[in-house]
Structure formats: C-alpha cells, structure tokens
Amino acid sequence: MRVLFIDRVHPVLRQRLEAAGMHCEEDLDCSREGLSAKMGGYQGLVLRSRLPIDRPLLEQAESLQWIARSGSGLENIDLIAAKEKGIEVFSSPEGNRDALAEHCLGMLLQLLHRLHIAHREVQQGLWRREANRGRELKSLCFGIVGYGHMGSAVAERLRSFGCRILAYDKYKEHYGNAYVEACKLEDLQREADVLSIHLPQSDESRYFVNAELIKSMRKPFYLINTARGAHVDTAALYSGIRAGKVLGACLDVLEYEKRSLEGLSDEGGPGVLRRLLEMEQVIVTPHIAGWTHESYVKLSEVLADKILARFRVD
C-alpha cells in the first residue's frame, strides 16, 4: 500500500505505517494540479488543511482507499464524494481535545481576571488594583454549544471550578451527566454567562453567533470560539461588545482565516477585524488551541491506531 503525505505531521505516523508494511512518500509542497496528476498511484493520503480535497480531485484518485486528516475538522474534504467512491476518511479529534480544552479555559481565565491588561499596565509602571478586579468562574453559568470531543473535554475541566455547566447539541440525546445539564438552545440563551462554541463547520453553523443570537441572550455574556472562524459574524460581535451585550470574547479562530487555516486573508482585515483586535475585552490567538507539543504526537498516534485497525498489509 502506497501512502502520500502532503502536510507535515508527527513522524510517529509514518513510522507506524511503514512498520506495518506500507510504503510512505512525502510531497509537502505539491500544488493542487500536482496532486491531481499523481493521486491515482496511492491508496492512502495524509493531510492537514493545506489543500482542499474536492470531487474533481477525488475523481483522479482511482486507487485511493483512505484519507487521514490530522485534526478534527473535515470541511476541506468532500465527504459525499469520498463515500461514493468508497474512500474511508479518518480524523483525530481525540488527539487535541485536551490541548483545546486547556486553551479554552486559559483564555477565559485571562479575560475574567484581566491578566493581559494588568500585565501590560505593570510593564508601563502602573499599579491599578481596583481597576483590575476580576470575576470568578465559579460564579458563572458556562454554556457549551456542541457536545462532541471538544465540548465534552471543556466540560470535564470545568468540574473542578464548581460552576454550573449547560450543554446544547442539536444532534445528540441523553448526553447529560452528573456535572453537565443537557438543555435546549433557549435555556442557554436564558441562563448562560459564558457561551463556548464547539461546532463543526457547515452551512448550518455559519454565523451561528450573529446579531439575532447576541440579542436573544438574556444576560451580557462572554464568548469563546475555538472551533472555526465562520461560526461568528465578526461585525455582529463587534457591535455586541460596543453595546455591552457581549462582555468579552476569546477567539482562537477568525472569520477571515484562509481556507488552509495558515493565516488571514486580506478580506476584512483593515476594517471591522482591526477595530475588534484593538478592544481590550478581546483576546485572540492564531488558531493554536489544539496546538501543543503533546497533541502533535497524539494526533498522529490516533490516526495510526485508526488506520491500522482498518487496513493491514499482507
């Protein structure tokens, strides 16, 4: 079985596949056209997000049996076309769920306790205690939207903080437990002080956080988005913060990210995004919530486990 790596992942994946008898090759700089020209010669494909794997590309993949995506989101792969061709698609959200959950809470604690502001002020020679009085997470109701690998990992870590945890997932049933209350979206809108988004990217989830949802929240709230930038309408968020409906935002992903997730596009940068980034109520990181030294290894280990459980070389 020939396997092509078109993105850099931890070498443990290649090592384990080769130990199982697979022949692995790399082309980390190939263009879409270059990939299309060579797809027919491989049975396995390993990637992150650099190139979209769409239907026309999959039509050239005459021998392809599986695709392995290092990470969780599969929006760059045409899953319908892959299923039609009998191509199995693997992802590895189990590999970076812990990293993302820690990052999510780390950003929120920084915002609640004004750590970024106080640190900057001390650097400037200011010692303002009352102005930097924080809020305790225990006193807040934390609302999770999307209760899959990431949402549940966040809930697990919230247990020790003693706060009330609500979770809404349109496609799940009976997912509540001793420390998480499964609820309807209306319950989150009525009760939540924090809204944390953990949805896959789709047409349905685009602009899930929009002007209407912000208006429907009964209490001013904090927003966390560590999933995909398209879930949040940037202009609506900016307006919500200015109006006091949104108390602050922790954003690891932005609406204006490139499709490859490797930077920002030019669209919107000089306008509303720039104004949002200037707000002290907003903390932004460059899509690194699941990006730790440990998750780098685990993402590849999880993929190796899944691939080798399904495909063995005689």
Task: Collect all residues with Cβ–Cβ distance below 8 Å to 296 and sequence separation of at least 6.
Answer: 9, 10
Q: Is the dihedral of CA 189, 191, 194, 199 positive or negative?
A: negative
Full pLDDT tens readout for the chain, 314 residues: 999 999 999 999 999 999 999 999 999 999 999 999 999 999 999 999 999 999 999 999 999 999 999 999 999 999 999 999 999 999 999 999 999 999 999 999 999 999 999 999 999 999 999 999 999 999 999 999 999 999 999 999 999 999 999 999 999 999 999 999 999 999 999 999 999 999 999 999 999 999 999 999 999 999 999 999 999 999 999 999 999 999 999 999 999 998 777 888 766 556 899 999 999 999 999 999 999 999 999 999 999 999 999 998 76
What is each CA distance from 259 to 4, 50, 75, 86, 228, in whole angstroms? 21, 8, 9, 25, 11
Residue with tokens 């596949």: 17
CB 98 within 8 A of CB 294: yes
What does the pLDDT read at residue 313?
A: 72
Domains of the chain as residue ranges with CATH? 2-91 (3.40.50.720), 97-284 (3.40.50.720)
What is each CA distance from 291 to 9, 45, 69, 150, in whole angstroms? 12, 22, 15, 13
What is each CA distance from 93 to 96, 267, 281, 302, 314, in whole angstroms? 6, 29, 29, 9, 29
What does the pLDDT read at residue 24?
A: 97
Judge residue 133's burial from the number of C-beta atoms within 10 Å of its C-beta, 0-12 exposed, 13-18 middle, 19 or more buried: exposed
Strand pairing category for 66-69 and 88-91: parallel
Q: In three state form, how does the secondary structure of 144-210 look? A: EECCCHHHHHHHHHHHHHCCEEEEECCCCCCCCCCCCEECCHHHHHHHCCEEEECCCCCCCCCCCEC
What does the pLDDT read at residue 222?
A: 98
Tokens representing 146 are: 């999307």
What does the pLDDT read at residue 267?
A: 61
Q: Could you tell me where the DSSP H helices lie in the chain?
A: 12-19, 32-38, 55-59, 79-84, 93-112, 115-123, 149-158, 185-191, 211-216, 234-242, 274-277, 293-310
